[in-house]
Amino acid sequence: MNDSRSAPRLEARLKVTGQARYSAETQIPGLLHAALVTAPIARGRVTDIDASRAERLPGFVAIMTHENAAPLARAAAVLHLQGPEVRFAGEPVAVVIARSPIAARRAAAAVDVVYEAEPAATDFDLFLGEAYAPRTAGRTPTDSLRGDPEDALARARVSLDLRYETAANNHHPMEPQSVIADWGPDLLTVYTTTQAVFAHRAAIAGAFGLEVEKVRVVCEYLGGGFGAKGGAWYPGMILGIQLARHVGAPVRLELTRAQMFTLVGRRQETRQHLRLGADGDGRLTAIALDTVAPTSTYAEYADAVATTARMMYACPNVATTHRLVRLNAPQPNPMRAPGEGPGSFALESAMDELAHELQLDPLELRLRNFAVRDQNADLSWSSNGLRECYQVGAEAFGWAGRPLAPGALRDGRRTLGWGMAAVCYPVYSMASAASVALESDGGIVVRCGTQDMGTGTITVLGQLAAAILDVPLARVRVEIGDTLLPEGPYSGGSIATASFTPAVEAAARDLRTRLITLASTDPASSLLGEAQPDLVLEDGHVRSLTGNRSESLAALAGRAAPGGLEAFAQTTPDPDRPVSAFGFGAVFAEVAVDPELGEVRLKRLTAAYAAGRILNPLLARSQYVGGLIGGIGMALHEATVDDKASGRVLGDNLADYLIPVQADMPAFDVHMIHEDDPHLPGGIKGIGMLGTVGTAGAIANAVFHATGVRIRRLPIRIEDCIVQA
Amino acid sequence: MRAFDYLRAQTEGEALAAAGQDGAAFIAGGTDLMPLWKAGVAAPGLLIDIGRLPLAEVTARDGGLVFGATARLADIADHPEVRRRHPAIAQAIEASASGQVRNMATLGGALLQRTRCVYFRSGITPCEKLEPGSGCAAVAGENRLHAIFGGGPSCVATHASDLAVALVALDAQVRLRSLAGERVLPLTALYLPAGESPARETVLVPGEMIVAVEVPDAGGRSLYLKIRDRASFEFAVVSVAVALEVADGRVQSVRLAAGGVGTMPWRLRASEAALTGAEAGEAVFRAAAGLAADGAQPLAHNGFKIELLKRTVLRALVQAGDQT
Amino acid sequence: MTDPSREPRALTLRVNGVDHSLAAEPCATLLDVLRDGLGLTGTKKGCDMGACGACTVLVDDRRINACLTLAAMQEGREIVTIEGLADGEDLHPMQQAFIAHDALQCGYCTPGQILSAVGLLAEGRAVDLAQVAEQMSGNLCRCGAHPNILAAIAEVAGLRA
């Protein structure tokens, strides 16, 4: 990584020394601590809460239940403790506040709650017949139709009728959700784990009937999120703030790992019925995808599972539907490559099945079905580097040497398999503001009310300003994670960088202009009277292109702008972009399967991505690898299992809910293809989700190539792969 | 999350005297007890810290190894005589938990660790271990990882320890002490079948402590083979410990035990009988492995363990055979 | 059944070379005392059940999970947390290698990863990369920094990456 853009993380030193403070670590005098009492039943009502045992315990301060919780001004989100009803197992029914975290947990365990249980819908299979059409699927329409897929399927030379299943997953950022609320006389300050300080501020203001200016939300360091610290955290966060008001003192509520299985969202389980029709050359003539997923009884969410089926491949006849089933279960929400993750598993597996049926190389099949434009949106691509991704990825992986027949590659007792998948994720962006300022000592500070979930936002914010102002990155300070800053974007859905880049670049350019103006007009400047087009910023100086004269930014600031100089910019995406924008990629997997014992071990993952302008290749690679690892978990390990009888999550800990560990890691080889996209502000597409799309499909296809066994249900497990006696 | 008192025992006598109290429990590593306490599944009133008693030695004698009850798992696995005489012990430990946990966990705690049954661990009833008389949710619930041996309508929870499986295969003896005296049992006799009272898992009586485990020397080779979905830091889906001695092409002695399949570490006597005295070779190994699941009682989701167990036994025998 | 009251008790813990006298309840874990009692929040609470490794600290040069032990059990031991690893302004070589290899993203698992890496080297377990990977499997990372973490450790251990 000799690329000068590959700067190490600006905050790395603070993170490796333990000095980076995360939300729950905020030091506040007199802080009290909260612990939840949660329902063990999936549906019913609370008929009695007896806190007398808890009240006698040392450190007990107060208890809040639906009986004494002050009503909130507006239901900005699904809120807890608004009534006696229980809608899912794990729902909070009371909260205890105490002088220490341990005292709170102990007292919570001593609260006696009487429930009246009612029959609960906890078994997805039993309610499939009651599936209904949600209002939307993610950000996309619920259903889609082009051409006549039923007719095309009936006429297809080759047709496949396949059913795939993916498990529910939990996000599990390593940092648990927490909130500390401090109600001051004029300002409510909330330190919380959030992927969007401004959105969370709006939710708080709505719930408590406050002006947004009366609420400050702070999140300086964020220990991951992956979707679980977005809107899914509103109910818990608001509950924590309510507690502080209830007792008139600052309170900290921190979720336990077990509570993170039920209270902060989950990736939906899916059942996908996918039919493909093709001609004898493998050209798709029909795609029909019908997907069903659970949602809760009190809110609605559907992942956009069909996105890739609608646009990934050229096909004249496509129909897709999303349906939901209401269960007494925790509310699902977006998780790392929402929709596209599970959806691409089915589509990319089916493409592999089609290739096998036609005895075609799976990559060749995809090339034959390359979509030259977005047929779903009926728009041309803003840019599309997919074919280059196929080529670069295949070459790096050595795909050309792949035998067509499964089970042909061996390594001792194990058989090897190679599989691949195509990858895409839509480009989203939102409005963002930012400011870039020269400080009186000549340093630069970038301010943007966004968050760094581990993606590198802090660093690239600094790099964007440093590049335009031509100052060393070491002279740039970055402030994020606070609603006192200019309003920045959400961190998630690969949105943040595409959103703040145009704003930061505009502010930095404005500051550059103002510095040049200052340098040419300040009476004491050696550049006084120089023509502004002849002046540039270079290495912390304003310099004349026509001579040797220069002014250091420090000297200029000290003299002419002792209070500093700040430029502000606000940018908004064009709502009527006349093109379709996606990032693309291709992922290639090698697995080793012990066909007698069923163990699957991943050996290699090679991926190539074309996703617009890459700001920092070092950090981008890390993010792609992280996305790929998210895909490994989906493919081979992760499953949130609800007990059908009780509706409770089974194995609600990180020993039983398996996520990939260091020993599971394959060799990674990530290629980033340079791409200039003139249609996108700043040329940014966003990369966070791409790594997770397609990965599970590539791994499942590799397992098929190793064993000859097609596994259509995630995660793939030992019992699926015990094939050879 | 019931509060408990804490006593750091200065002597074994002090520990044993305190252990007679109602609600008393020993702690040394804490790696199993602490999560159970935090989950509200264990609620001791007094924890007696035996971690500083002189019970942590690993001693290699003529004729056998002696492990003190508070010997750390990592120290056992690292001991050169353990690796030389009984590789299965080191392999079982190294396949257990994480590096951190292996540095903390003790032999006694490993033998007494509670099941990983997801119902039990999350405090979900009915569960005979949590609420005697209530029944078992796993029998008709999610039971992929539950037992195919030793279970019944009352309980199908598997024993979770890797090390115990290796020690059972190696005919380990366990030394127990209380104020009333000392007794030595075969490790297999420490464990009680699930039977009528699954809450009672061992023959230990209140106030009684494991003080040592003794493993007799044996000829041949031993190994431990663990099958799991994740490459590390996961409990066994199925595991097998084998100690095999071959001379003149014949099986002189063989001992087999399996993990992940039984309510206790499970000796595979039928396979052992088929092997003893037979010609060592793949055909015989395969036939013996075919008997490994005799008597298994699969549930709705764990039937695959029958075939997986047979294959794991076969693989373990082949590998052990290759080494002898 | 009443829950017995257990008064806080005087306790001395030696952390990063300094003796700290404090009062803690008998059931306080080392993790809770480090974070909430001593303000040493570099030791992270990820799962509080010994399954994630975020709370890894060194006790007498060996890695342990601070959430699985009682503070009272660690009296008289040498405890090292992430705050005590650097020599003043000079970072420990493992900290430097983590920065150079971008072996962190959100940073929440990072202190535990670093102490686990330092511990496994001290324990003599960095035999080869496969061993290091196995030994580091008790430290979960959800962002997916694993290959960079392995590369950082390999560099410090002198193993070929």
Write down the domain spans for chain B.
5-51, 221-323
Q: Residues A87-109: pLDDT tens digits?
A: 999 999 999 999 999 999 999 99
Q: Is residue A201 part of a domain?
A: yes
Q: Is residue A140 part of a domain?
A: no
For residues A618 and A3, the model is more confident at: A618
pLDDT band (50, 70, 90) for residue A74: low
Q: In this complex, do B2 and A109 lie within 8 Å of one another by their Cβ atoms?
A: yes
Q: Residues B222-280: pLDDT tens digits?
A: 999 999 999 999 999 999 999 999 999 999 999 999 999 999 999 999 999 999 999 99
Q: Residues A148-198: pLDDT tens digits?
A: 999 999 999 999 999 999 999 999 999 999 999 999 999 999 999 999 999
Answer yes or no: do A397 and A347 share one domain.
yes
Taking each helix axis from N to C terminus, what angle separates C146-157 and C93-100, rounded to the nearest 10 degrees?
A: 140
Residues A645 and B141 sit within 8 Å (Cβ to Cβ):
yes
Answer yes or no: do A551 and A651 share one domain.
no
Q: In this complex, do C73 and B49 lie within 8 Å of one another by their Cβ atoms?
A: yes
What is the 8-class DSSP label of residue C87? B
Give the mean pLDDT of C3-17: 84
β-bridge pairing A136-137 and A140-141: antiparallel
What pLDDT is recorded for position A127? 96
Residue A1 has pLDDT above 90, yes or no: no
In three-state secondary structure terms, A72 is coil
User: Token pair for residue A451?
Assistant: 């968050």
Task: Assign residue A529 the CATH number of its domain.
Answer: 3.30.365.10
Length of chain B: 324
pLDDT band (50, 70, 90) for residue C7: confident
Q: In this complex, do A257 and C43 lie within 8 Å of one another by their Cβ atoms?
A: no
Q: For the purposes of burial, counting CB atoms within 10 Å of the CB of B85, is it exposed (0-12), middle (13-18) or buried (19 or more)?
A: buried
- Per-window interface: A 193-222 vs C, CB < 8 A: 221-222
Place of tokens 């650097």: C86
Question: Closest-CA residue in chain A for B228?
Answer: A599
Q: Residues A464-481: pLDDT tens digits?
A: 999 999 999 999 999 999
Give the mean pLDDT of A662-684: 96
**C-alpha to C-alpha distance for A80 and A234, rounded to whole angstroms:** 10
Q: In this complex, do A18 and C28 lie within 8 Å of one another by their Cβ atoms?
A: no
**C-alpha to C-alpha distance for A309 and A340, rounded to whole angstroms:** 9
Answer yes or no: do A585 and A546 share one domain.
no
Q: Is residue A166 part of a domain?
A: no
Answer yes or no: do A606 and A501 share one domain.
no
| The CA-based dihedral angle spanning residues C95, C97, C99, C102, taken in that order and rounded to the nearest 10 degrees | -130
Q: Is residue A145 part of a domain?
A: no
Size of interface B-C (CB pairs under 8 A): 102
What pLDDT is recorded for position A273? 98
| Chain A residues in contact with chain B using a Cβ-Cβ cutoff of 8 Å | 40, 102, 105-106, 108-109, 258, 596-599, 601, 636-637, 641, 643-646, 648-653, 655-656, 658, 660-664, 715, 717-719, 722, 725
**C-alpha to C-alpha distance for A619 and C103, rounded to whole angstroms:** 10
What pLDDT is recorded for position C1? 39
Question: Chain B within 8 Å of C129 (Cβ-Cβ)?
Answer: no
What is the 8-class DSSP label of residue C34? I
B234 contact residues in A (CB cutoff 8 A): 655, 658
Question: Chain B within 8 Å of C46 (Cβ-Cβ)?
Answer: no
Give the mean pLDDT of A615-643: 98
Question: Closest-CA residue in chain A for C99?
Answer: A12
What pLDDT is recorded for position B323? 82
Q: Which of B178-187, B192-201, C15-24 has the lowest mean pLDDT?
A: B192-201
Residues B126 and B135 sit within 8 Å (Cβ to Cβ):
yes
**C-alpha to C-alpha distance for A222 and A452, rounded to whole angstroms:** 6
Give the mean pLDDT of A529-542: 94
Answer yes or no: do A89 and A196 share one domain.
yes
Q: CA dist B290 to A579, B11, B284, B294, Å?
A: 63, 50, 10, 8
Nearest-CB residue to C49 (from B38, B98, B99): B38
Residue A77 has pLDDT above 80, yes or no: no
Q: In this complex, do B98 and C137 lie within 8 Å of one another by their Cβ atoms?
A: yes
Answer yes or no: do A476 and A595 share one domain.
no
B3 contact residues in A (CB cutoff 8 A): 106
Question: Chain C within 8 Å of B312 (Cβ-Cβ)?
Answer: no
Q: Is residue A150 part of a domain?
A: no
Answer yes or no: do A104 and A197 share one domain.
yes
| The CA-based dihedral angle spanning residues A428, A433, A438, A439, taken in that order and rounded to the nearest 10 degrees | -120
Nearest-Cα distance to chain B for A262, in Å, is 13
Class of domain B221-323: alpha beta
**Residue B309 host element (H or E):** helix B304-323
What pLDDT is recorded for position A681? 92
Q: Is residue A152 part of a domain?
A: no
Place of tokens 């030994």: C135
Answer yes or no: do A87 and A223 share one domain.
yes
Question: Chain B within 8 Å of C120 (Cβ-Cβ)?
Answer: yes
Provide the domain count of chain A.
Answer: 3
Answer yes or no: do A417 and A501 share one domain.
no
Among A256, A286, A306, the domain-final residue is A256
Question: Chain C within 8 Å of B5 (Cβ-Cβ)?
Answer: yes
Q: Is residue A207 part of a domain?
A: yes
Residue A575 has pLDDT above 70, yes or no: yes
Among A233, A256, A279, the domain-final residue is A256
Give the mean pLDDT of B135-156: 97
Length of chain A: 725
Residue C2 has pLDDT above 50, yes or no: no
Q: Which domain holds residue A376?
A: 336-428+577-721
Nearest-Cα distance to chain C for A209, in Å, is 33
Nearest-Cα distance to chain B for A64, in Å, is 20
Q: Chains with ≥3 Cβ pairs under 8 A against C?
A: A, B
Answer yes or no: do A462 and A603 share one domain.
no
| Residue A218: other Cβ atoms inside 10 A | 17
Residues A440 and A558 sit within 8 Å (Cβ to Cβ):
yes
Q: Residues A696-725: pLDDT tens digits?
A: 999 999 999 999 999 999 999 999 999 766
What pLDDT is recorded for position A76? 56
Nearest-Cα distance to chain A for C76, in Å, is 24
Nearest-CB residue to C120 (from B4, B99, B232): B99
For residues C57 and A547, the model is more confident at: C57
Answer yes or no: do A553 and A601 share one domain.
no
Q: Please name which of A227, A235, A222 lies closest in space to residue A191, comparing C-alpha atoms.
A: A222
Size of interface A-C (CB pairs under 8 A): 186
For residues A724 and B176, the model is more confident at: B176
Nearest-Cα distance to chain C for A624, in Å, is 9
Size of interface A-B (CB pairs under 8 A): 101
Listed in order, strand segments (DSSP E) in A39-117 are 44-50, 60-65, 85-86, 92-98, 112-117
Nearest-CB residue to A643 (from B137, B230, B312): B137
Report the sign of the C-alpha dihedral through residues A291, A295, A301, A303, in that order.
Answer: negative
Question: Chain C within 8 Å of B45 (Cβ-Cβ)?
Answer: yes
C29 contact residues in B (CB cutoff 8 A): 34
Among A537, A571, A605, the domain-final residue is A571
- Looking at every residue in chain B, the average pLDDT score rounds to 97
How many CA atoms are closer than 13 Å to the CA of A463, on its beta-carbon side?
21
Nearest-Cα distance to chain B for A645, in Å, is 7
Q: Residues B72-110: pLDDT tens digits?
A: 999 999 999 999 999 999 999 999 999 999 999 999 999
Nearest-CB residue to B1 (from A105, A637, A722): A105
Domains and CATH numbers, chain C: 9-84 (3.10.20.30), 93-157 (1.10.150.120)
Q: Residues A106-129: pLDDT tens digits?
A: 999 999 999 999 999 999 999 999
Q: Is residue A467 part of a domain?
A: yes
pLDDT band (50, 70, 90) for residue C161: low
What pLDDT is recorded for position A78? 76
- Looking at every residue in chain A, the average pLDDT score rounds to 96
User: Token pair for residue B13?
Assistant: 């006598």
What's the longest Cα–Cα distance across chain A?
A: 89
Q: In this complex, do B29 and C49 lie within 8 Å of one another by their Cβ atoms?
A: no
Give the mean pLDDT of B5-31: 96
Residue A9 has pLDDT above 50, yes or no: yes
Answer yes or no: do A385 and A534 share one domain.
no
Residue A497 makes CB contacts below 8 A (sequence gap 6+) with A455, A457, A460, A615, A684, A686, A687
Q: Residues A388-411: pLDDT tens digits?
A: 999 999 999 999 999 999 999 999
Q: Residues A309-361: pLDDT tens digits?
A: 999 999 999 999 999 999 999 999 999 999 999 999 999 999 999 999 999 99
Q: In this complex, do B35 and C29 lie within 8 Å of one another by their Cβ atoms?
A: no
Q: Please name which of B244, B217, B226 lies closest in space to residue B164, comparing C-alpha atoms.
A: B226
**C-alpha to C-alpha distance for A712 and A701, rounded to whole angstroms:** 10
Residue-by-residue DSSP string for A245-289:
HHHTS-EEEE--TTGGGTSS--BPPEEEEEEEEE-TT--EEEEEE
Task: Assign residue A75 the CATH number of its domain.
Answer: 3.90.1170.50
Q: Residues A15-48: pLDDT tens digits?
A: 999 999 999 999 999 999 999 999 999 999 999 9
Q: Residues A354-388: pLDDT tens digits?
A: 999 999 999 999 999 999 999 999 999 999 999 99
Give the mean pLDDT of A257-276: 98
| Residue B214: other Cβ atoms inside 10 A | 19
Nearest-CB residue to C53 (from B37, B94, B100): B100
Q: Under CATH, what is the fold of the domain B5-51? A: 3.30.43
Q: Please name which of A336, A276, A272, A324 lies closest in space to residue A299, comparing C-alpha atoms.
A: A324
Give the mean pLDDT of B140-160: 97
Q: CA dist A514 to A462, A531, A537, A567, Å?
A: 19, 14, 11, 8
Q: Residues A205-259: pLDDT tens digits?
A: 999 999 999 999 999 999 999 999 999 999 999 999 999 999 999 999 999 999 9
